[in-house]
Amino acid sequence: MLAAMASGPWRAWIRPALSRVWWFLRTRKPPRRLRFTREGKLFVGLTVGVGVAAVNTGNNLLYLVLGLLLSLITLSGVLSEIALRGLEFRRRLPRRAYAGVAALVEIEVLNRKRYAPSYSIEVEDRIEGRRTDKRCYFLKVSAGARQTAAYRRVAPVRGVERYVSLRVATRFPFGLFEKWREVEMPEEQLVYPSPLRTGERAPHDTVNGEHFAREERGQGEVDGVRDIATALPLSIVPDLVGWPREGREHLLRWAGATFDSLGPINKQAVRTAPAALGMMRFSRQVVRKRALSPGSMGAEVLAAADAGRIAHSDCPALMIDYLAPSLDTTISAIASGLALFARHPEQWDLLRADPSRIPNAVNEIVRLESPLRAFSRKVARDTTLAGHRLRAGERVLVMFASANRDASEWSSPDTFDITRDASRQLGFGHGAHGCAGQGLARLETQAVLGALLDRVERIELAGEPVRAPNNIIHGYARLPLRLVAKDGRA
């Protein structure tokens, strides 16, 4: 009968149907892919071994252990699937990209699930179908919450870069396997030729030629944090320290986590602890491999250690002590200044009328919007302060933000006034605890304001600013701005 069907009228539709099924099975991409980690392979091997022993011996205890091991594997599959579900992603490309010049690409994730958070999410971009090895990590995305991370992208050549998709992966909860899925997200980025370099330039010229000032003219809204405030610190500080190109895409996240670890032990500190440890591990690796630029500050630190003036074990922490504070604090000061001038246009007019006020304007910005909220200090010897007895060994909280708005020291302390003498502000610390990089921070902030004065008649808020959560740093995560040029165009 089967032979008759194969040679009869049934043949006309059986073969095409089987061909379609075979083509579907060959070309269908599974919604999830899975790869066992090294630990996962060992765990599966252990499970198989226990299973073989249970079958051969009939031991009930071994069957119980086998059931437990299989339950853990099943639980891993269920929880990792929950972690990957209900996530929506958005990619924000830089407004301008130049060949050979670093730019930040932001990845935003929104957890649409009503109750379940997503843990240990790793997002990797794919450009023209190739993995970029540039990842963003999200330790926990609460239900209904939105988070943003960024990675550093350097386009090798000019032309059009085609972003294809995102690879979203997780190893939650036990790290037995990595489960991932592809999120199609096609976008194109026009990469301009590298800026012409004509020798060494001052920071003000760097702002003019390579960053926002000239390029934002006529381009509408900008993010004051991403497009302006991060420009100089990310361009200058890593080169000054001699930090290798590899790993720079994590610097902002690492630096913020380092400050979180200096504050109270709360959820924020616990959430960012892996990133802070990641910066220390990477710094130790850099010192061990001596992967620092010749002539840089980091290379001089290693030379001092080789000469026996400091211990080699102190080198990683010394580099972090300069690198991390020189990023977040300066970025906070620049962004806060932009927000203040947007809210107080009359102060911007005063600054445009007399650019010599820029250094004092920087002091007033730091006074009113102190980048550092507070630091803890240890009392060195018994003393009395403002009528309060302090004993040696006790801890005190030095609140810079409070001191900078002390009504007994400042008239109208909550008023932004660039004409007041704000040189007494304590935002950069004082005495032996004064910020070692405050000279560079002042220079960078002054350079940004000077570049804007040449081109921008008015700074306006284009949306509600979003504060960045941090235990120590007082800054913004997003600052929507509209820069109105002198000819009236945004």
The pLDDT of residue 480: 93
- Per-residue pLDDT band at 209 (split at 50, 70, 90): very low
Of 488 and 196, the one with more pLDDT:
488
The pLDDT of residue 9: 53
What amino acid occupies position 27? Answer: T
Distance, CA of 275 to CA of 137 (rounded, Å): 9
Question: Lowest-pLDDT range, 11-15, 398-402, 452-456?
Answer: 11-15
Percent of the chain at pLDDT > 90 equals 29
Residue 200: pLDDT over 60: no
What is the fold, at CATH topology level, of the domain defined by 29-194?
A: Immunoglobulin-like (2.60.40)
The pLDDT of residue 485: 82
Q: Which residue has the tokens 């804007």?
A: 452
Q: Dihedral, CA atoms, 129, 135, 140, 144, nearest 10 degrees?
A: -50
pLDDT mean across residues, the chain: 83
Residue 370: pLDDT over 50: yes
- Per-residue pLDDT band at 264 (split at 50, 70, 90): confident
Average pLDDT rounded to a whole number, residues 216-236 = 76
Distance, CA of 155 to CA of 101 (rounded, Å): 7
Residue 45: pLDDT over 80: yes
Distance, CA of 307 to CA of 298 (rounded, Å): 14
Q: What is the pTM of this model?
A: 0.58
Cβ pair 191, 98 in contact under 8 A = yes
Angle between helical axes of 231-241 and 251-261 (0-180°, round to 10):
80
Residue 99: name the closest of 154, 44, 56, 141 by CA. Answer: 154
**Pairing state between β 466-468 and 475-478:** antiparallel
Average pLDDT rounded to a whole number, residues 215-239 = 76
Question: Lowest-pLDDT range, 65-69, 271-275, 412-416, 459-463?
Answer: 271-275
Question: Lowest-pLDDT range, 73-77, 111-115, 324-328, 383-387?
Answer: 324-328
Partners of 167 in the β-ladder: 124, 182
Distance, CA of 121 to CA of 84 (rounded, Å): 8
Q: What is the location of CATH 2.60.40.10 in the chain?
A: 29-194
The pLDDT of residue 362: 94
Q: Which three-class secondary structure string do you get for the chain?
A: CHHHHHHCCCHHHHHHHHHHHHHHHHHCCCCCEEEECHHHHHHHHHHHHHHHHHHHHCCHHHHHHHHHHHHHHHHHHHHHHHHHCCEEEEEECCCCEECCCEEEEEEEEEECCCCCCEEEEEEEEEECCEEEEEEEEEEEECCCCEEEEEEEEECCCCEEEEEEEEEEEECCCCCCEEEEEEEEEEEEEEEECCCCCCCCCCHHHHHHHHCHHHHCCCCCEEEHHHHHHCHHHHHHHHHHHCCCCCCHHHHHHHHHHHHHHCCCCCHHHHHHHHHHHHHHHHHHHHHHHCCCCCCCHHHHHHHHHHCCCCCHHHHHHHHHHHHHHHHHHHHHHHHHHHHHHHHCHHHHHHHHHCHHHHHHHHHHHHHHCCCECCEEEECCCCEEECCEEECCCCEEEECHHHHCCCCCCCCCCCCCCCCCCCCCCCCCCCHHHCCCCHHHHHHHHHHHHHHHHHHEEEEEECCCCEEECCCCECEEEECEEEEEECCCCC
Q: Which residue has the tokens 């990590």?
A: 137
Distance, CA of 122 to CA of 192 (rounded, Å): 30
Distance, CA of 66 to CA of 55 (rounded, Å): 10
Q: What is the location of CATH 1.10.630.10 in the chain?
A: 197-485
Give me the long-range contacts of 392-399 (CB less than 8 A, separation at least 24).
398/374, 399/373, 399/374
- Per-residue pLDDT band at 135 (split at 50, 70, 90): confident
- Per-residue pLDDT band at 489 (split at 50, 70, 90): low
Tens-place pLDDT, residues 143-187: 999 988 888 888 877 788 889 999 999 998 888 989 989 999 899
The pLDDT of residue 97: 82
Average pLDDT rounded to a whole number, residues 186-200 = 67
What is the fold, at CATH topology level, of the domain defined by 197-485?
A: Cytochrome p450 (1.10.630)
